[in-house]
Chain A
């Protein structure tokens, strides 16, 4: 299995809602990442997990809360988002050496 699976593919949420994005991989990768991509822009790193522990937080607002329950799963909990948070959220995984960097197909989030 050489895939990173993200669910849901599309999500529309209100500014008072709480929702979660999910990411799963079974490649044995111990590094997992969340990227955010606004329209017509490149992906930008949000968080890095290494061995299930948060290693890098790129000064992301607290309304985004990542979680890594085990070595195969990565969640992104969303609460009180703003319309400007609407974007494509990409999950990726790799070996801790950086080898095998693989992206999921993304969740397209719209905040209304």
Chain B
């Protein structure tokens, strides 16, 4: 069974502060994918990043950066110089192959999410 833990339920910061959202996962598979999604109040899930289990390179995209460490089963997300528009729920998710009647399928298991509030 797979599991994703986001220990931080809510985080509140002041604009321009840096903030790190933690994600720890459990899986028995050697091949898997990790995701981060942003969900603003409007409800849509906005894809931020996908990382496969064989690629431990950290990634930076503008103010966003991700730190993937297989040794600690963590995939943490940092927002630098946070802005009010970053306020949202952020989900970490794990995808594993799962056998169904139609062959292998990919189920995303989400963490419980972290509500980030950035105050002006």
Q: Give the interface of A toward B (CB within 8 A).
A: 31, 35, 41-45, 48-51, 53-56, 88, 90, 92, 94, 96-98, 101-106, 108
Question: Separation in Å of the A54 CB from the closest CB of chain B?
Answer: 7
The answer to whether A90 touches B98 (Cβ under 8 A) is no
Question: Separation in Å of the B1 CB from the closest CB of chain A?
Answer: 13
The answer to whether B106 touches A101 (Cβ under 8 A) is yes
Smallest CB-CB separation from A50: which chain B residue? B102
Q: Is the interface of A mostly helix, strand, loop or mixed?
A: strand
Q: Give the interface of B toward A (CB within 8 A).
A: 33, 35, 37, 42-45, 47, 50, 91, 95, 97-98, 100-108, 110-113
The answer to whether A54 touches B102 (Cβ under 8 A) is yes
The answer to whether B43 touches A31 (Cβ under 8 A) is no
Give the residue of A43, A55, A92, A108 whose beta carbon is less than 8 angstroms from that of B102. A55
Query: In whole angstroms, how far apart are the Cα atoms of A44 and B105 in the complex?
Result: 15
29 A-B residue pairs with CB within 8 Å:
A31-B105, A31-B106, A41-B112, A42-B91, A42-B110, A42-B111, A44-B110, A45-B108, A48-B105, A49-B102, A51-B102, A55-B101, A56-B98, A56-B100, A56-B101, A90-B45, A96-B103, A96-B104, A97-B106, A98-B33, A98-B106, A101-B47, A101-B95, A101-B108, A103-B45, A104-B44, A105-B43, A105-B44, A106-B43
Query: In whole angstroms, how far apart are the Cα atoms of A104 and B42 in the complex?
Result: 12
Smallest CB-CB separation from B9: which chain A residue? A40
The 4 A-B residue pairs with the shortest CB-CB distance, nearest first, are: A98-B106, A55-B100, A55-B102, A42-B110
The answer to whether B100 touches A42 (Cβ under 8 A) is no
Query: In whole angstroms, how far apart are the Cα atoms of A47 and B112 in the complex?
Result: 20
Smallest CB-CB separation from B112: which chain A residue? A42
Q: Please, which residues of chain A bring their CB within 8 A of the CB of B45?
A: 43, 90, 103, 106
Smallest CB-CB separation from B35: which chain A residue? A101
Query: In whole angstroms, how far apart are the Cα atoms of A108 and B41 in the complex?
Result: 12
